[in-house]
Amino acid sequence: MSPNVKFEVVNFGEAERRLAAAPAEGERPITLIAFVGAKLALGGETSTILRDAEPQIARAAAAAKFAGKRGTSLDLYAPAGLDGVGRLLMIGVGPAGDGDNGGASPERFDDYLGLGGQLAARLGQGANAIALFDVPEPPADASAAAGQLALGATLRAYKFDLYRTKKKKDDPEREGASEIALAVAEPEAARAAVDGALGLAEGVVIARDLVNEPANVLYPEEFARRAAKLADLGVEVEILDVPTLQTLGFRALLGVGQGSAHPSRVVVLRWNGAAPDTQPVAFVGKGVCFDTGGISIKPAASMEDMKGDMAGAAAVTGLMHALAVRKAKANVIGVLGLVENMPSGEAQRPGDIVTSLSGQTIEIINTDAEGRLVLADALWYVKDKFKPAFIIDLATLTGAILVALGQEHAGLFSNNDELAGRILEAGKATGEKLWRLPMGPAYDKLIESKFADMKNTGGRHAGSITAAQFLERFVDKTPWAHLDIAGTGMGSPASDTNQSWASGWGVRLLDRLVKDCYESA
Q: What are the structural domains, with CATH classification, of the chain?
A: 5-189 (3.40.220.10), 203-517 (3.40.630.10)
1 has a pLDDT exceeding 70: no
Length of the chain: 521
Distance CA 381, CA 172 (A): 50
* Segment 310-366, tens digit of pLDDT: 999 999 999 999 999 999 999 999 999 999 999 999 999 999 999 999 999 999 999
Tell me what the mean pLDDT of segment 129-144 comes to: 93
Distance CA 498, CA 482 (A): 24
Calculate the dihedral angle through the C-alpha atoms of 180, 186, 192, 197, rounding to the nearest 10 degrees.
-50
Instruction: Check residue 258 and report its DSSP letter.
Output: T
> What per-residue confidence (pLDDT) applies to 52?
92
> What per-residue confidence (pLDDT) applies to 106?
38
96 contacts: CB under 8 Å, gap ≥ 6 = 69, 70, 71
> What per-residue confidence (pLDDT) applies to 28?
83
198's enclosing H/E stretch is helix 187-212
Alpha carbon separation from 214 to 210, 219, 453 (Å, rounded): 9, 9, 36
> What per-residue confidence (pLDDT) applies to 165?
87
Mean pLDDT (the chain) is 93
pLDDT grade for 111, boundaries at 50, 70 and 90: confident
Which residue would you say has higher pLDDT here, 336 or 100? Answer: 336
- 46, β-bridge pairs: none
> Under a CB-based contact definition with an 8 Å cutoff, are residues 27 and 128 in contact?
yes
> What per-residue confidence (pLDDT) applies to 429?
94
The letter for the amino acid at 308 is G
47 has a pLDDT exceeding 80: yes
76 has a pLDDT exceeding 50: yes
> What per-residue confidence (pLDDT) applies to 99?
44
Distance CA 490, CA 313 (A): 13
105 has a pLDDT exceeding 50: no
Alpha carbon separation from 415 to 165, 362, 392, 457 (Å, rounded): 49, 22, 11, 20
Strand order in the sheet with 178-184: 5-11, 178-184, 128-132, 30-36, 85-92, 73-77
* Segment 2-30, tens digit of pLDDT: 678 999 999 999 999 999 886 676 678 89
Distance CA 286, CA 456 (A): 16
> Under a CB-based contact definition with an 8 Å cutoff, are residues 396 and 486 in contact?
yes
> Under a CB-based contact definition with an 8 Å cutoff, are residues 447 and 455 in contact?
yes
Tell me what the mean pLDDT of segment 35-63 comes to: 94
Distance CA 412, CA 435 (A): 6
Highest-scoring range by mean pLDDT, 92-96, 135-139, 453-457? 453-457
The residue among 229, 259, 465 whose CA lies nearest residue 350 is 259
**Which sequence positions are flagged as catalytic?**
298, 372
3-state secondary structure 130-146: EEECCCCCCCCCHHHHH
* Segment 498-508, tens digit of pLDDT: 999 999 999 99
Radius of gyration of the chain (CA): 25
155 contacts: CB under 8 Å, gap ≥ 6 = 116, 117, 201, 204, 205, 497, 498, 504
pLDDT grade for 137, boundaries at 50, 70 and 90: confident
236 has a pLDDT exceeding 50: yes
The residue among 407, 403, 379 whose CA lies nearest residue 487 is 407
How many alpha carbons lie under 13 Å from residue 267 in its C-beta half-sphere? 28
448 has a pLDDT exceeding 50: yes
pLDDT grade for 110, boundaries at 50, 70 and 90: low
490 has a pLDDT exceeding 90: yes
Tell me what the mean pLDDT of segment 248-272 comes to: 98
Distance CA 416, CA 189 (A): 37
109 has a pLDDT exceeding 50: no
Tell me what the mean pLDDT of segment 287-306 comes to: 97
> What per-residue confidence (pLDDT) applies to 169?
54
> What per-residue confidence (pLDDT) applies to 97?
58
Task: Give just the sign of the alpha carbon dihedral 478, 484, 489, 495.
Answer: negative
Tell me what the mean pLDDT of segment 461-482 comes to: 98
3-state secondary structure 231-248: HHHCCEEEEECHHHHHHH
